[in-house]
A = this chain, B = another copy of it.
Amino acid sequence: MAPQSRLLPPLLQVLRRCRASRSHFSTAPSLVSPPSKAVVYDEHGLPEQVLRLVDVPPAEIGDRDVCVRMMAAPINPSDINRIEGVYPVRPPLPAAVGGYEGVGQVHALGPAVTARLSPGDWVIPSPPSFGTWQTYITKHENVWHKVRSDVPMEYAATITVNPLTALRMLQDFVKLNPGDAIVQNGATSIVGQCVIQLAKVHGIHTINIIRDRPGSEEAKNKLKQLGADEVFTETQLDMKNVKSLLGALPEPALGFNCVGGNAASLILKLLKQGGTMVTYGGMSKRPVTVPTSYFIFKDLSLRGFWLQKWLNSDKTEDCRRMIDYLLGLVHEGKLKYEMESISFGEFSLALEKALGKHGSQPKQVIKF
């Protein structure tokens, strides 16, 4: 990433002048945010090449705006995909600020704000919205949802994109009852870890598939400590009578696939007659391949899940209720996952880690 001292590009200078002139013509003294620092991009490309840290001038705080001092925001894979330009929903260019979820403290309120918010309250953009990689954000009060402040801020910053995906996928496709089982691949991912824990809270068993790699025994133990009933490597499932491995567990009616290729085929093999596989990611970059007989005789259904679509469909109240529920579980110690906090000043290092350039790393959460 370019150093912070790099000159602002012409467009941002124009932007700054516009804002300055707007407040100049205002009849009443305007409330303005503090100056901010933001990680932005003007074109799509490799994040390490196109991202820049810029100074953003003070912004006017409108009557119903809330100015928030950001405390923490993660680097999610979908943030990377937006920067690369391969994600279908992206902020407009140029001067797009990176990031999509995060948590901050209320810094200042516009005079006509009706929400019950006070300076110091913790808020998250909910549904999440573009541009959380900056130190101050000023947006309409409707954007912000007040959350409890008695959980680690890393959880408040990351509670939407991954945990909410896990929760919705458990609810939206197949009616599950206590004692039922589900199967998933990519089980060590944060969504995977959340699926295990949320299923457990509801008495649902989980059958988990992980990659074969050095340390897979350790990974198995970690997932079992979270509540996983069974954890298999892909190689372990490379056998004919795979269901014999399930022991007393019921055949799963629902499967979650975030890998594709062989790892998806294993889910199809393990699902019960009439089961459903939901694809929400494709980490192996390999497609899902389905023998015809699985559709006709095994009556499997294959669906997809994209949180973005759900968030777009006027579900704000549902979304916020679920966020509160999830943060409640965090508070009770029933929902946890590994993250690494890193200061905003070290954004480049966090980005490298998020891009996998330092091997397998925990989720990177920027602290401002």
Report B-chain residues with C-beta under 8 Å of the C-beta of A289: 287-290
- Knowing that A278-B295, A288-B290, A297-B304 touch, tell me 6 more A-B residue pairs with CB under 8 angstroms: A279-B295, A287-B291, A288-B295, A296-B305, A301-B303, A302-B303
Nearest CB in chain B to that of A290: its residue: B288
Q: Does A88 contact B (CB under 8 A)?
A: yes
| Nearest CB of chain B from residue A300's CB, rounded to whole Å | 7
Judge whether B88 and A297 touch: CB under 8 Å. yes
Cβ < 8 Å to B, chain A residues 296-320: 296-306, 309
Docked complex Cα distance between A282 and B281 (Å): 27
| Nearest CB of chain B from residue A120's CB, rounded to whole Å | 38
Nearest CB in chain B to that of A305: its residue: B296
**Chain A to chain B contacts (Cβ below 8 Å), 16 pairs:** A279-B292, A281-B292, A282-B291, A282-B292, A287-B289, A288-B290, A288-B292, A288-B295, A289-B290, A290-B290, A295-B302, A297-B304, A298-B304, A299-B304, A299-B306, A301-B304
| Nearest CB of chain B from residue A266's CB, rounded to whole Å | 15
Copies in the complex: 2
Docked complex Cα distance between A291 and B288 (Å): 6
The listed residue (B260, B292, B297, B299) touching A260 by CB distance below 8 A is B292
Q: If the complex has contacts A287-B289, A288-B289, are A304 and B309 also in contact, measured as CB distance less than 8 A?
A: no
Size class of A's contact patch?
20 to 34
Q: Does A144 contact B (CB under 8 A)?
A: no
| Nearest CB of chain B from residue A256's CB, rounded to whole Å | 11
Q: Does A100 contact B (CB under 8 A)?
A: no
Scan A265-297; emit 1 where CB is below 8 A from any B CB, else 0: 000000000000011111000011111111111
Q: If the complex has contacts A279-B292, A288-B289, A289-B287, are A301 and B299 also in contact, measured as CB distance less than 8 A?
A: no
Docked complex Cα distance between A152 and B280 (Å): 51
